Amino acid sequence: MSADDVIRAHVAVLREGTARARSLAQTLLNVPYGQGDGEKLDVYIPNTASVDVSLVIYIHGGYWQFLSKEESGFLAIPMVKKGVVVVAVDYDIAPKGNMDLMVSQVRRSVVSVIKQYSHISGLYLCGHSAGAHLAAMVLSTDWSQYNVTPQINGAFLVSGIYDLLPILSTYINEPLKMTEEVAVRNSPSKLLSQLKLSSPNCHIVVAVAQNDSPEFWNQSQEYYKALRESGLNVTMEDVPDTDHFNIIEQMMDGDYHLTQIFFQMMGEKPRAFGASSFNKSTS
């Protein structure tokens, strides 16, 4: 297939998965986490009820310039069956949003989730491609300016970019318009000391597809090595027979290798709770 056909096929798979997730779970859609039009999230809730719950925040990819939460609910398909809540986050993609804004938005989305839903028993992040970059930036946050310190138990970073400098001279930067200064301050690989301060006990999984491009593969490997050398709890998964797109598409399958690893990260099957625990006024 041509590059455009590959993207269209990927979007179609994610949309179909999101539609299926919405048929399986209770949903709260378009919940605001800020004042901006793009600052919304969707919540996918299991159909059973309990006091506390594990929650996964999913941050979509799309080279920071396409996709949205409308294609990001697919991860809820296996998760709600295990009693896990999934939150799909929107942010202002380029050219409307710049890199500083996108990073700020995903950080504020996490703050909003933990402030509204204090009964979370385990908080986890998952991001794919550009979303893995943004999830890594969440791990590297100086939370003192937010007056809250999220206890992030685990992070699943799938086929991500962790150093933005190589992007500056490529077509990807045309709508982003990043300068070198912007790229440096938004590169997780440059923020390892802050990550150690903000997420010292977080279990990080760096996953990459066997058939990812050399840049994705090299960046994943280098970021994994840097995290390990910093003394952080990190593992790397080189997933065979996958490419940049189906490595995340297959996570809607509960028996898929990465999905199983995610379940293992979360430990014992968590309990779930009903939609009444969430603010319905904005759904």
| 219-250 CB burial, b ≥16 within 10 A, e <16 | bbeebbebbeeeebebebbebeebbbbbbbbb
Give yes or no: 243 in active site: no
Can you tell me the distance from the alpha carbon of 46 to that of 214, in angstroms, rounded to the nearest whole number? 39
DSSP-derived letter for residue 269 is P
129 catalytic? Reply is yes
Q: How far apart are CA 86 and CA 77, in angstroms?
A: 9
Q: Which helix (H) or strand (E) is 16 found in, with range?
A: helix 3-24
Is 140 noted as a catalytic residue in this protein? Answer: no
- What secondary structure letter does DSSP report for 270? P
For residue 276, how many other CB atoms are within 10 A of its CB? Answer: 9
List the catalytic residue out of 10, 189, 212, 277: 212
Catalytic residue among 60, 128, 203, 244: 244
Catalytic residue from among 129, 140, 187, 189:
129
213: number of Cβ within 10 Å: 12
Give the contacts of 23 (CB within 8 A, at least 6 positions apart): none
Those residues whose C-beta lies under 8 Å from the C-beta of residue 54, and which sit 6 or more positions away, are 83, 84, 85, 120, 121, 122, 123, 124, 266, 270
Catalytically annotated residues: 129, 212, 244
